[in-house]
A and B are shown apart, each in its own frame.
Chain A
C-alpha cells in the first residue's frame, strides 16, 4: 500500500524519459500545491480510471510525461497515452471541469533532467492557477 498523502498535482512520469544519471525528487511543494511523482514503466500503462481516481482524491491537476512521439521504447506506449489523455479531457469537460486540468508533456531521455524539472515547474504554475 503506497504512502497515502493526497497530492494536489499528480505527475505520471515514464521511467524511460529520465536519463539514467538524472535523479528526480519524488515529491515536493510548489506554489501551495503538493506534487507527487508516480513512476510508470511506460505511459502506455496510464489508465483513464487512474487519472480520474486522482481527481476523486482531491487532486487539482494531473500531468502525464511521456517520451517524444515515435521514440517510445515500447513502440506505441506514448501514442496510447495521448489517446487516453484526450479522452480524459473530453470526460472532464462533460462533468464541467476545465480541460487543461489534465496535461501531457513530452521529454526525451537525451535531454537533461533539469529541463524536465523546468517544464514541470511551468506546468505546475499553470495548473495551480485553476
Chain B
C-alpha cells in the first residue's frame, strides 16, 4: 500500500511573458498629472513597471497585460483618459478545443503549483459540447464527503493496470490462485507519446524525468526510446510498431501494440516471450469499436487503449461521438459480456483539464493519457508555428531540464489535488471505485428530459454534445 501519495510543488515563474487578457490604454497627452494619480493607487501595483519600462526600453508592453481588470483606475481617473481593452493575441491563443482559458489556467497551475481559486461564480456558458455537457455529483447529508485535499482523510487515487481475476479462490483458508501481473499507477493518468513536431530538444527528456520522479508511466514510441538508464525502464511503456517483436524491451512493465487483423497472435508471441510483461492493444475509437474491444478482451487481451483525436472525438464521417459517449458505450458492452472487471481500459485524447480526467474515469475508463497539457506546462502556446515548420517563438527545445521538470511536476500536483477535490465532493475515497460510477454524475440531456422535458414537451433540436 503506497504511503500517502503527495506531490510536492514549488512555484516556478514562466520564462516568457504570459498573454494576459486585459490591458489598459491611456492618452498621455491629456493627462493632468494629478499628484495622487490613480496609477499609484493600483492595488496590484501594475504601473510600477511602467516608469522603469519607459527608461530602459525593454518590451515596454510587458506589463500592460498583467492588469487584473478591477477597473478602479479607469473609473477613478479625473480626466477619464484610461480605457480597457482585451488583448486580441489572447483571443487567438490555442484552438477551438484548447480555448485561451484552458491555456491560461494550465500556465497558472504550472507556475504556482496550487489549484486555481478565484472569486465570483462561474461565468461561462450554461453547458457545452463534450465534457462540458456533464456535471459531477456532490453529497452532503446522506453520503459524507471526503476532505482529501486538506489532507484530513486519505483519498487513494492509485489504479491497477493489467488483467484481474473475476474472483479469488481459497483452499481451507489458504489463497490458492495466483493473480496475473499487475502494475499500479499512483494517479489515473499516463503520459501519452508526444505528437511528432514536439519531439525536439529537451522536451522528451523532461517528461521522462517527471514520470520517473512521480512514479507515473509514460508511453514512448519504440524508435524514440534511446538508451535509458535502469531507473527509466520501469516507467517507460514502449509503443511498438506493427509487426515488431518487442524483444529489445523485455523488461519493460508493459508494451502497447496497435490493433491489426492478426493482433492476437502478436499478443500471444509477446506473452510467450515474457509472461510477466503486460500487453496492451491500441484501438482507434469508431462507431463500431465496442464490438471489437469485447472480442479482443474475450480472446484474453489484458489492456485496451482506446484512442480518440486531439479534441476527444472518434473518427466517424458525421457527428463523431465524444470520449464521454464512446467510453460509456465500450464500458457498457464489456459489462454485458461480463468481462469488464477482468481488463483495464485506457482512454487517450481530448483530456485538456483535470476535470476531463475525472469525468472520463466516471464514464468507465480506468485511466487516461495526456500529452498536450504537459507541453502547455512548459509554456507552449499551441501557436502552430512548429506544425508549419517555422521556428518556435519561445524556443521550446531549449527549455532547461530542472525548470521543465518543476513546471510539469507542479501541473501534476494541481491535477492530483483537483481530482481529490472532485472525488471528495462526491464522497468517494478510492479512484478504483470512481470507474464507471455514472451514479455520481449528471448528463445534461438527462437533466433536460427529466426537468424541462416534463414541462415543455420535446426538444426542437437535440442537445449539442
A and B touch in the complex (CB under 8 A): yes
Q: Is B462 an interface residue (CB 8 A)?
A: no
- Judge whether A61 is part of the interface by a CB distance below 8 angstroms: no
One of A37-45, A91-99, A100-108, A121-129 contacting the partner: A37-45
User: Which among B51-59, B249-257, B432-440 touches the partner chain?
Assistant: B51-59
The reply to whether A80 and B29 contact each other, CB–CB distance below 8 Å, is yes
Rounded to whole Å, the gap between the CB of B366 and the closest CB of chain A is: 41
CB–CB A40/B59 < 8 A: no
Contact of B62 among A1, A18, A26, A54 (CB under 8 A): A1
Other-chain contact of B25, A2, A45, A83 (Cβ < 8 Å): A45
The residue on B at minimum CB distance from A39 is B89
**Among residues 1 to 54 in chain A, which have CB atoms less than 8 Å away from a CB atom of chain B?**
1-4, 15-16, 18, 20, 25-26, 38-42, 44-45, 47, 49-50, 53-54
In the complex, what residue of chain B is closest to A38 when comparing beta carbons?
B61
Given that A15-B88, A16-B88, A53-B57 are known contacts, is A41 also in contact with B25, CB under 8 Å in the complex? yes
Q: Take A1-B62, A16-B88, A80-B29 as given contacts and tell me if A49 and B23 are in contact as well, using a CB distance cutoff of 8 Å.
A: no
Q: Given A47-B54, A57-B57, verify A41-B27 contact (CB < 8 Å).
A: no
- Contact string, B53-81, partner A, CB cutoff 8 A, digits 1/0? 01001111110100000000000000000
Shortest Cβ gap from B397 to chain A (Å): 15
B83 part of interface (Cβ distance < 8 Å):
yes
The answer for the CA separation of A80 and B25 in the assembled complex, in Å, is 12
Residue in B25, B58, B62 with the greatest tally of chain A CB atoms within 10 Å: B25
What DSSP secondary structure best describes chain B's contact surface?
mixed
Report whether B89 and A44 are in contact in the complex, using a CB–CB cutoff of 8 Å: no
How many residue pairs at the A-B interface have CB separations less than 8 Å?
54
Closest to B86 in A: A41
Q: Provide the residues of chain A in CB contact with B25, threshold 8 Å.
A: 41-42, 44-45, 74, 77
B143 on interface, CB distance cutoff 8 Å: no
Task: Tell me, yes or no, whether B136 is within 8 Å of chain A by CB.
Answer: no
The one of A26, A42, A47 in contact with B28, judged by C-beta atoms closer than 8 angstroms, is A47
Check A83–B29 contact: CB distance below 8 A. yes
Interface residues on B, range: 20 to 34
A41-B85 in contact given A74-B25, A76-B27 (Cβ < 8 Å): yes
Please, how many angstroms separate the alpha-carbon atoms of A10 and B57 in the complex? 13
Contact: B59 with A2, CB < 8 Å?
A: yes
For residue A76, which residue of chain B has the nearest CB? B27
A56 within 8 A of B: yes
| B17, CB-defined interface residue at 8 Å | yes
Q: Which residues of A contact B87 (CB under 8 A)?
A: 15, 41
With A15-B89, A26-B393, A39-B89 known as contacts, the answer to whether A56 contacts B27 (CB < 8 A) is no
Nearest B-chain residue to A41, judged by Cβ: B85
> Which residues of chain B come closer than 8 Å to A74, judged between CB atoms?
25, 83, 85
CB pair B57–A2 under 8 Å, yes or no, is no
- Residues from 78 to 110 in B contacting A, C-beta threshold 8 Å: 83, 85, 87-89, 92
Contact of A42 among B17, B60, B85, B89 (CB under 8 A): B85
CA distance A44 to B23 in the complex (A): 13
Q: How far is the CB of B96 from chain A (nearest CB, A)?
A: 13
Enumerate chain B residues within 8 angstroms of A2, measured Cβ to Cβ: 17, 58-59, 62
A-B contact pairs, 27 of them (CB 8 A): A1-B58, A1-B59, A2-B17, A2-B59, A4-B58, A15-B87, A15-B88, A15-B89, A16-B88, A20-B92, A25-B390, A38-B61, A39-B88, A41-B23, A41-B85, A41-B87, A42-B85, A45-B61, A47-B28, A47-B60, A49-B54, A50-B57, A50-B60, A53-B57, A57-B57, A74-B85, A80-B27
Given contacts A2-B58, A16-B88, A38-B61, 7 further A-B contacts (CB under 8 A): A26-B393, A42-B85, A45-B25, A50-B60, A74-B25, A77-B25, A83-B29
